[in-house]
Amino acid sequence: MTILQATPAPVATRIGEPNAVAMVFFFAFIAITLGITYWAARRTRTTEDFYAAARSITPGQNGLALAGDYMSAASFLGIAGLVSTTGFDGLIYSTGWLVGWPVVLFLIAEPLRNLGKYTFADVVAARLRQTPVRIAAAFGTLATVTLYLIAQMVGAGGLIRLMFGLSYETAIVIVGAAMLAYVLFGGMIATTWVQIVKAGLLLAGAALLALMVLAKFGMNPVALFAAAADKYGAGVLAPGKLVAAPLDAISLGMALMFGTAGLPHILMRFYTVPDARAARTSVFYATGLIGVFYLMTFVLGFGAMVLVGPDAIKAVDKGGNMAAPLLAEVLGGTPFLGFIAAVAFATILAVVAGLTLSGAAALSHDLWVNVVRHGEADSREQLRVARVATVALGVVAVLLGILFKGQNVAYMVSLAFAIAASGNFPALVLSIFWRRCTTEGIVSSMVLGTLSTLVLIWLSPTIQVDILKHPGAWFPLKNPALVTIPLSFAIGVLVSLATRDDVAVERFAAVERRMHVGEA
C-alpha cells in the first residue's frame, strides 16, 4: 500500500468490512474468557470472593490486572491516533496518563489495603459516621463510573461498527452481555483474569506492532522520528496548537494525575491482594507495564504517521482512532488488522467489566449493606444484592450506550478523571492524613467536589462550544480540575474546622496504627 498524501482519496483498507480473522480472534477471546468465568464461578461463594477475589491475587497478577483496567481502548487507539495526526502534541497525553500511578503508590495503595474491605468508602468511613460518608462516596463512585461507562460503550459501538461491520446496537448488546456474564457469575476472580488476558494481548499486540515498525527503521526510534520530520516538517516533534492555552494543559494534567488515585475500579483492585506489601509491589509492576505501553505509543503514533499518513488516517475516521489498526493492515495485511481489531474490542470489554463491578460494589456494599441494613446483612443476602446491582448497572450501561449513539463522548473520560480527582481523591487524602477532619467536612468535600465538577463541565467550552455549538462559554477551562481540586480540599478543610467530630479525632490513633501495621 502506498502512502497517501494531501487529498482525502479513498483509502485501500478493509476496515469496515466483516473480517474473518478479527471474528475468529474475537470469538476465541470470548470463548476463553467465558471458560475463565465458568472456572471462577465455582470459586465465587462469599462476598470476599465476589468483590476481592478471595484476596488471592499475586502482586504480579494484580500489576497486569491494574494495567488491564487502566489501558482502555481510548489510550491505545486514541493516543496512537493523536500522535499520528499531531505528532508531539499526542505525546503529552502519553505522559499524562502515567504520572498518576506514582501518586497512587505513595499516598493511597497501602492505607487503602490496610483500612478497607471492598470499596474506597471503607477507608473514608473508617473513623467517620457511616451513613452520610457512604452515601456521598457512592454518589462520587457512580458519577465517575457512569461517565466512564458511557465513553467506553459509545466507543465500543463505534469501533465495532467500523471494524467488523456489525450494527452499533448489536455491538453494544454483545459488549453488555459478555461483560454481565463475567461479573455476574465470576465476580472479581473472573474480572481479574479477563483483565490479565486482555493486558497480555494488548501489550503483546502493541509490542509486535512497534517491533514491525522499528524493523523498517533499523530498530532505531530516532530514525523513525527523523523520517516523520523529513516528511511532515520538524514541527511534528515540537509542541503545536493542542496546548495553545497553558491553563488548559495544567488543568487536564491535574485531572489525570490525581484522578487516577480516585478511580473506584482501580482502587478496588488493591483489595484483591493478600496484604499492603503486595498492594505496593503490584503498583510497581503496573507502572512499569503501563509506562512501556505508553512509550510504545510514541513508536505506533509516529509509525502510523510515516507509514500510513495523517490524511489517510483522517479519511477513515476524523478523530484518527483508526491509526493503529491501519498501521497493522499496512504492516501485516488483513490478518494482523483482524488481530489488532479483536484486541481493541477485548480491551473495551474488560474495562467495562471492571467499571461495572466497582459500581455494583458501591450500590450493594456501600448503599445497601452499610446504609440500608446498617452492616447487618448475611453473606447470602450481600451476594444477591451485589448481583442484582450488577444486572441493573449492565442494563443501564447498554441503554446509555444506545442513548448516546453518535454523540461525541471523548471528553467523558477526562471528565470522569476530573470527578475522581475532585470528588474522591481529596476525601481519601484528608481522611487518611488529617486527624482533625470531620464527617461534615469530608461529606461536603465529596458532594461539592463532584457537583462543582459537573456544573463547571456543563459551563465549559467542551459542552457549550463543542457540543451545543454556542459561540462562547461562561467558564474558560475545558477541564475544571484546576479549580475543583483545590475547591474540594478547601471545602473539606473549612467545613471540618467549623464543625467538631470528637469520635473521629478519638479514633484517629487506632486507625492510623491499622493503616501502617494492618489488621492485628
Partner 1 sequence: MSEHRFRSLAETRWRIAISLTALMVAIYFGFILLIAYDKPLMGRLLTRGLSVGVLLGALVIVLSWVLTWVYVRWANTHYDAGLDQLRREEAAR
Query: Which position among 257, 353, 377, 495 is part of the footprint of partner 1 (CB under 8 A)?
Result: 257
Buried residues in 79-109 as b, exposed as e (16+ CB within 10 A): bbbbbbbbbbbbbbbbebbbebbebbbebbb
Burial of 166 (0-12, 13-18, 19+ CB in 10 A): middle
Query: 40 vs 257, which CB is nearer to partner 1?
Result: 257
Residue 107 interacts with partner 1 (CB under 8 A)?
A: yes
Residues in the chain: 520
Residue 479 interacts with partner 1 (CB under 8 A)?
A: no
**CA separation, residue 227 to residues 232, 236, 295 (Å):** 9, 11, 18
Query: 256 vs 363, which CB is nearer to partner 1?
Result: 256
Query: 90 vs 325, which CB is nearer to partner 1?
Result: 90
Query: Which position among 117, 280, 373, 436 is part of the footprint of partner 1 (CB under 8 A)?
Result: 280
Residue 476 interacts with partner 1 (CB under 8 A)?
A: no
Query: 283 vs 308, which CB is nearer to partner 1?
Result: 283
Query: Which position among 294, 336, 425, 489 is part of the footprint of partner 1 (CB under 8 A)?
Result: 294
Query: Which position among 52, 57, 105, 304 is part of the footprint of partner 1 (CB under 8 A)?
Result: 105
Q: Where are the alpha helices (DSSP H) in 308-370?
A: 310-316, 323-361
Residue 281 interacts with partner 1 (CB under 8 A)?
A: yes
CA–CA separation, 229 and 210 (whole Å): 18
Query: 296 vs 341, which CB is nearer to partner 1?
Result: 296
What is the smallest separation between the CB atom of 106 and partner 1, expressed in angstroms? 4
What is the smallest separation between the CB atom of 91 and partner 1, expressed in angstroms? 5
Residue 238 interacts with partner 1 (CB under 8 A)?
A: yes
- Residues of span 83-102 touching partner 1 by CB under 8 A: 88, 91-92, 94-96, 98-99, 101-102
Residue 295 interacts with partner 1 (CB under 8 A)?
A: yes
Query: Which position among 26, 29, 120, 225 is part of the footprint of partner 1 (CB under 8 A)?
Result: 225
Residue 284 interacts with partner 1 (CB under 8 A)?
A: yes
**CA separation, residue 60 to residues 47, 67, 236, 285, 329 (Å):** 23, 11, 37, 7, 33
Where does this chain touch partner 1 (CB under 8 A) — which range of 16-24, 129-137, 140-148, 284-292? Answer: 284-292
CA–CA separation, 353 and 175 (whole Å): 9
What is the smallest separation between the CB atom of 275 and partner 1, expressed in angstroms? 10
CA–CA separation, 86 and 104 (whole Å): 30
Residue 130 interacts with partner 1 (CB under 8 A)?
A: no
Q: Closest by alpha carbon to 248, among 481, 91, 453, 459?
A: 481
What is the smallest separation between the CB atom of 193 and partner 1, expressed in angstroms? 24
Where does this chain touch partner 1 (CB under 8 A) — which range of 44-52, 236-244, 324-332, 417-425? Answer: 236-244
Where does this chain touch partner 1 (CB under 8 A) — which range of 142-150, 234-242, 314-322, 420-428? Answer: 234-242
Q: Kindly report each contact of residues 244-252 with a partner whose C-beta sits within 8 Å and lies 24 or more positions away, as own/partner.
A: 247/476, 247/477, 247/482, 248/477, 248/478, 248/479, 249/92, 250/482, 251/477, 251/478, 251/479, 251/480, 251/481, 251/482, 251/483, 252/96, 252/414, 252/478, 252/479, 252/481
Size of the site for partner 1 (CB under 8 A): 50
What is the smallest separation between the CB atom of 429 and partner 1, expressed in angstroms? 10
- Residues of span 417-456 touching partner 1 by CB under 8 A: 433
Residue 237 interacts with partner 1 (CB under 8 A)?
A: yes
Binding mask 493-512 for partner 1 (x = CB under 8 A): -------------------x
CA–CA separation, 400 and 149 (whole Å): 8
What end-to-end distance do the CA atoms of the chain give, in Å?
Answer: 65
What is the smallest separation between the CB atom of 425 and partner 1, expressed in angstroms? 12
Residue 223 interacts with partner 1 (CB under 8 A)?
A: yes
CA–CA separation, 159 and 89 (whole Å): 23
Q: Closest by alpha carbon to 495, among 442, 432, 435, 417?
A: 442
Contact in structure between 224 and 315 (CB atoms under 8 Å): no
The DSSP symbol for 78 reads I
Binding site for partner 1 (CB under 8 A): 88, 91-92, 94-96, 98-99, 101-103, 105-107, 222-229, 234-235, 237-239, 243, 246, 249-250, 253, 257, 277, 280-281, 283-284, 287-288, 291, 294-295, 298, 433, 512-513, 516-517, 520
